[in-house]
Amino acid sequence: MQAFGDERYDEVVELIRPVRSIANRFGGSHAQRDVLDLTLIEAAFRVGQRDLAKALAAERVAARPTSPLTGLFARRATGSIGSDAHQHPSSEQS
């Protein structure tokens, strides 16, 4: 999370990607583990790893199809909303 805050998005992807599938082993709530996935998706977008971001967004659509964040990431993955690499979820226009 510190790397994300420091805008070292490539490092975020490098650190979170290998542990996301085993995150349940170190505990935390579903929401806390979800934060890891959301952080990874956003970091992948910001570092320009669009294929990874698209794949992770597709996984999220399958797992959480009704989540507002799922819709946001899915639209970003398909280019349906602005492609600015630093666009934050809260900046989407209704």
| Domain of residue 20, CATH code | 1.25.40
- Whether the model pTM is above 0.85: no
Residue 54 covered by a domain:
yes
Structural domain count of the chain: 1
Residue 56 covered by a domain:
yes
DSSP of 29-65: -HHHHHHHHHHHHHHHHHHT-HHHHHHHHHHHHHH-T
For residue range 19-49, list pLDDT tens digits in order.
Answer: 888 877 777 788 888 889 999 999 999 999 9
Residue 89 covered by a domain:
no
Structural domain boundaries, residue 24: 2-80
Residue 87 covered by a domain:
no
